[in-house]
Amino acid sequence: MLNRRQMLMMSGAAALLPLIGTPAFAQQMKQVRFFVPAAPGGGWDQTARTMEQVLRTANLVGSTQVTNVGGAGGTVGLPQFINQWKGQGDGLMVSGLVMMGAIIANKTPFNLTNVTPIARLTGEAEVIVVPKESPLKTLKDLAAALKADVAKVTWAGGSAGGTDHIIAALVAQAVGADPTKISYVAYAGGGPAQAALLGNQVTCGISGLGEFVEQIKAGNLRALGISSDKRIPGLDVPTFKESGVDVEFFNWRGVFAPPGVSADQKKAMIDLVTAMNKSQAWQDELKKRDWTDIFLAGDAFEAFIKTETERVTDTLKKIGLA
């Protein structure tokens, strides 16, 4: 599993390779239709809508549209994207590590080799939160509760086998609890998971920082720890390692075209996303949302998907999720 240092090193190394279709400027596309295989409000949805805004601001696209199909870490939407969007060069699916884990855990017949890799965009730390009324004040308190009875601690997160589930299991394992016995409640997206937390229906929640940061700042949720290698500026939240939990983890998100697109259509989409990544508007959004830029396009991204699939499969097997 990639930590932040590994991801940034890979990103830097990839920059030395010739990228496919990396022009100074991309020709404006008439239309881009985003396919988000998750419910509104989560990280993929935020990514799609941020891309939509930036592409328009940078005058890189004429019109945009977002379609949400939630469920099972994207494995409900994925076959729709494969079968119904095949060959459509204006389609772009937002996905990432969460879907990869869900595919492996659920043993689905479809996977990310069935779509066309365009680019890896962002990395994001994950944060563990509790409702403001929770008696758990620190990550050490949560660790003690897990060791006392791991099954009594209920977690709200994204899909089974996804990033949230993986980190919850790794945290349990790191504190000496059985990761195969965690009580994990999978939700269709960040919005429903957040609602469960605010309604005090679960012990704790885990997701990308961007999905919880506003509620943390508003005081409605208490952040116990963050999975990054160092603290996030402007946010008084200790890293897992600071609290004695030896886990460091970074989530990644990227975009994929449907299967069956032509070489020219693929190049045009890579050019478009590359130009977006270079725009000031996108760089401003990265800073605003605490997303790390780990851009990787074309063949280099395709190679990353292959090695990352092997890495995630190995990790899920070790913690009993595959």
Query: Could you report the per-residue pLDDT of 170-196, keeping only the tens digit for each?
Result: 999 999 999 989 999 988 767 788 899
Q: For residues 184 and 160, is the Cβ–Cβ distance under 8 A?
A: yes
Q: Which residue has the tokens 């499969």?
A: 313
pTM score above 0.75: no
Residues 6 or more apart whose CB falls under 8 angstroms from that of 193 comprise: 156, 157, 158, 187, 205, 207, 211
- Measured distance CA(92)–CA(257) in Å, rounded: 5
Query: What CATH homologous superfamily does 125-243 map to?
Result: Periplasmic binding protein-like II (3.40.190.10)
Its CATH architecture, for the domain 4-123+250-318, is 3-Layer(aba) Sandwich (3.40)
* Helix locations, 22-176, DSSP H: 43-57, 77-84, 97-106, 139-148, 163-174
Tokens of 140: 């050490």
pLDDT in tens, the chain (322 residues): 555 555 444 444 444 333 333 344 456 789 999 999 998 888 899 999 999 999 999 999 999 999 999 888 889 999 999 999 999 999 999 999 889 988 988 889 999 999 999 999 998 889 999 999 999 999 999 999 999 999 999 999 987 778 888 899 999 999 999 998 999 998 876 778 889 999 999 999 999 888 888 899 999 999 999 998 888 888 899 999 999 999 988 889 999 999 999 999 999 999 999 999 999 999 999 988 878 899 999 999 999 999 989 988 888 888 888 7
- Measured distance CA(116)–CA(162) in Å, rounded: 21
pLDDT digits (tens, 9 = 90+) for 44-87: 999 999 999 999 999 999 999 999 998 888 899 999 999 999 99
Fill in the amino acid letter for 200: N
pLDDT for the residue 17: 39
- Exposure string of 144-169, with b = 16+ CB inside 10 Å and e = fewer, is ebbeeebeebebbbbbbbbbbbbbbb
Q: Which ranges in the chain are annotated with CATH 3.40.190.10?
A: 125-243
Q: Which ranges in the chain are annotated with CATH 3.40.190.150?
A: 4-123+250-318
The residue length of the chain stands at 322
In sequence order, the β-bridge partners of residue 183 are 154
Q: For residues 283 and 104, is the Cβ–Cβ distance under 8 A?
A: no
